[in-house]
Every structure is written in structure tokens, then in C-alpha cells.
Amino acid sequence: MVAPIEILKKRSEFLAAARAQKCGTKGLMLQGLARGDDAPMRVGFTCSKKVGNAVARNRAKRRLREAARLVLPDLGRAGYDYVLIGRHESTAERNFEALKGDLAYALKKVHGA
């Protein structure tokens, strides 16, 4: 059974994840915080103004959300908070299959494999 995925919304949740394990790839930056095994998986998305104007930031976040929807049920772990951060130009322009591969690689690194 696939674990339910919740969305991070509070600033304090994002700040807690920022102090956790990090892995940067060409297409994104992933932060992963282990909270506890019985808690559901949570995910948040962010893009700074370095990514571009509002249109570029929203496009990058849409791509990150879709990649997370496809990859996290298989490779994510219950009890983790994940924050996906868009990168300047590369998140919006990167091949989508490569972006999913970046997320899978980053998840393995954050989990210590």
C-alpha cells in the first residue's frame, strides 16, 4: 500500500527540513528530514526569485510537483519531510525524465544509500 503524502505549508516545517540532510542535483535541491516511522510522508515545494519571474517559478514548481507525484510513492519513506527546491533555469528547462532521475538519485542519497 502506498503511504499517504501530505503537503508542508508552515514556514517552521520548511525551516526544520532546511537543517536536515541535503542533496543537490542538476535539476533540483532536495532536503529530507526524518521525523518518525509512524508519521505520514510530507512534501513541500519552493522556488526563489533566482529561478525567474512568477511564470518561471510556477512552471518549475508544477514540474517538481509532478515529479514528486510519480517518484515519491515508490522511493519516499513514511515519516520523512521532503522539500524540493527549484534551481535557476535548469528545473523548468530540464528533460522531465532526467528531472525524475535527479529526484530518485537525491532520495537515495538523503536516505543514506
Per-residue pLDDT tens for 74-109? 999 888 999 999 998 889 899 999 999 999 999 999
Global pTM value:
0.91
C-alpha cell, 26: 542538476
Nearest in space to 69 (alpha carbons), one of 36, 32, 37, 99: 99
Domains of the chain: 5-110 (3.30.230.10)
> What is the band of 39 on the pLDDT scale with cuts at 50, 70, 90?
confident
Strand partners for 42:
6, 81
49/107 Cα distance (integer angstroms): 25
Q: Which residues of 72-100 are buried (b: 16+ CB within 10 A; e: fewer)?
A: beeebebbbbbbbbbbeebbbebeeeebb
Question: CA–CA distance from 18 to each of 45, 69, 80 (Å)?
Answer: 12, 21, 13
